[in-house]
C-alpha cells in the first residue's frame, strides 16, 4: 500500500560539507518524519586551501525552473522552505515560481551571506530578496545580522532591539491574505546567557529562551531551525508550536554537534529523535 507522509519542500543551496544548506534541510525533514523534496539553487564548496572561504556556483535559472516544475508536478506541495538563493537572477526565478501556485506556508530563511562571506557582496541580493521574496513569505527566520539588515537598524544588541527588528520586518510582509510571522534568532551573538528567539505574529511577541550552548556559532543551525519549522508545519502544527519544536531540535543538535576539520562544528540533526526515542 502506498503511504502519504507529510511533504516538505525546500528550495536551497548545496553546502558541500553536509553541514548546512539543502543537506541539513533534508536531514531535518527526514528526522522529523516529513518526506523531503528539494530544488537546488546553487553549490557552495568551502575551500580548505583558502581559509574555508566560499566557492559559490549558481544553478542556471532555467534549471531551477525545471526542478520546480518536476517537484510540483510530482507532489501536491503546499509547505516550502526557501534557503540560500544567492543571486538576483535566482531570486527572480524562485519568486516567479513561488507566485505561480498557492502555498499554505512559505518559510523564508533570508540567507544574505553565509559564514565567512563579505557582507558587501550581499547588497544586491538583499535588495532583490526584500523586493521579490519577502512579500511571499508567511514565516521569516532572520538571524541577528539578517534581522538588523532587513529591519534597517544600525545595531541589534538586546532582546528589545530584536523585538523591534521583528516588528519592522513584519511591516514588510503581505498580511492581506492571512497572518504572517517573524521568528528572529538572537543566537550566540546577542549578549546574555541565553539563546533568545523572538516570535512576532503582528500582534503578540513571544520570547523563547534556552541557555546558550557555548559561545561559538555552529554551522547549519539556521538551516535546521527553518527546516524544522517547515517539517512541523507540513505535519500540521501551528506556527508557534512549530517554532518551539524547531528551537528544541536545534538546541539538541548543537549540544550533540559534529566536530569537523572546519573551524566550526556543525549541527547533528540525529540528536533530536535519538533523545526522544
Q: Site residues (CB under 6 A) for ligand PXL?
A: 12-15, 20-21, 44, 83-84, 111, 114-115, 222-223
Between CA 102 and CA 111 the distance in angstroms is 23
Q: Which residue, 145 or 240, has its beta carbon nearer to ligand PXL?
A: 145
Q: Which residue, 44 or 239, has its beta carbon nearer to ligand PXL?
A: 44
The least CB distance from residue 150 to ligand PXL, in Å, is 15
The least CB distance from residue 172 to ligand PXL, in Å, is 21
The least CB distance from residue 13 to ligand PXL, in Å, is 3
Between CA 102 and CA 55 the distance in angstroms is 34
The least CB distance from residue 251 to ligand PXL, in Å, is 17
Query: Grid coordinates 544548506 are at which residue?
Result: 21
In the complex, which residue's CB is closest to ligand PXL? Answer: 114
Compute the radius of gyration of the chain from its Cα atoms. 17
Assign 58 to helix, strand or coil: strand
The least CB distance from residue 119 to ligand PXL, in Å, is 14
Q: Which residue, 172 or 262, has its beta carbon nearer to ligand PXL?
A: 262
Burial class (CB in 10 A: 0-12, 13-18, 19+), 52: middle
Q: Which residue, 12 or 77, has its beta carbon nearer to ligand PXL?
A: 12
The least CB distance from residue 177 to ligand PXL, in Å, is 28
CA dihedral (57, 121, 123, 145) positive or negative:
positive
Q: Which residue, 77 or 84, has its beta carbon nearer to ligand PXL?
A: 84
Whether 94 contacts 63, CB under 8 Å: no
> In the beta sheet, which residues pair with residue 224?
none
C-alpha distances out from residue 36 to 156, 230, 240, 262, Å: 34, 10, 22, 27
Q: Which residue, 28 or 201, has its beta carbon nearer to ligand PXL?
A: 28
The total number of residues written for the chain in this structure? 277
Q: Which residue, 36 or 222, has its beta carbon nearer to ligand PXL?
A: 222
Between CA 46 and CA 216 the distance in angstroms is 19
Name the residue among 70, 61, 17 with its Cα closest to residue 42: 61
Locate 182 and state its grid cell.
517573524
Between CA 78 and CA 6 the distance in angstroms is 10
The least CB distance from residue 170 to ligand PXL, in Å, is 22
Amino acid at each position: 500500500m502506498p503511504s502519504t507522509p507529510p511533504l516538505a519542500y525546500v528550495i536551497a543551496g548545496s553546502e558541500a560539507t553536509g553541514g548546512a544548506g539543502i543537506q541539513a534541510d533534508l536531514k531535518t525533514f527526514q528526522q522529523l518524519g516529513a518526506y523531503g523534496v528539494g530544488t537546488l539553487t546553487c553549490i557552495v564548496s568551502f575551500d580548505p586551501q583558502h581559509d574555508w572561504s566560499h566557492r559559490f556556483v549558481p544553478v542556471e535559472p532555467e534549471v531551477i525552473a525545471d526542478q520546480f516544475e518536476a517537484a510540483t508536478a510530482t507532489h501536491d506541495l503546499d509547505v516550502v522552505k526557501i534557503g540560500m538563493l544567492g543571486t538576483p537572477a535566482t531570486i527572480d526565478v524562485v519568486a516567479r515560481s513561488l507566485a505561480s501556485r498557492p502555498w499554505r506556508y512559505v518559510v523564508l530563511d533570508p540567507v544574505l551571506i553565509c559564514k565567512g562571506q563579505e557582507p558587501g557582496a550581499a547588497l544586491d541580493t538583499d535588495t532583490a530578496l526584500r523586493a521579490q521574496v519577502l512579500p511571499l513569505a508567511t514565516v521569516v527566520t532572520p538571524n541577528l545580522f539578517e534581522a538588523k539588515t532587513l529591519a534597517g537598524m544600525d545595531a541589534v544588541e538586546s532582546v528589545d532591539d530584536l523585538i523591534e527588528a521583528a516588528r519592522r520586518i513584519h511591516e514588510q510582509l503581505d498580511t492581506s491574505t492571512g497572518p504572517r510571522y517573524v521568528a528572529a534568532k538572537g543566537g550566540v551573538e546577542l549578549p546574555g546567557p541565553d539563546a533568545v528567539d523572538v516570535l512576532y505574529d503582528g500582534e503578540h511577541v513571544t520570547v523563547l529562551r534556552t541557555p546558550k550552548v557555548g559561545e561559538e556559532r555552529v554551522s547549519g543551525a539556521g538551516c535546521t531551525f527553518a527546516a524544522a519549522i517547515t517539517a512541523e508545519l507540513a505535519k500540521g502544527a501551528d506556527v508557534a508550536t512549530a517554532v518551539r519544536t524547531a528551537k528544541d531540535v536545534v538546541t539538541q543538535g548543537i549540544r550533540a554537534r559534529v566536530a569537523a576539520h572546519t573551524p566550526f562544528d556543525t549541527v547533528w540533526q540525529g540528536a533530536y529523535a535519538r533523545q526522544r526515542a
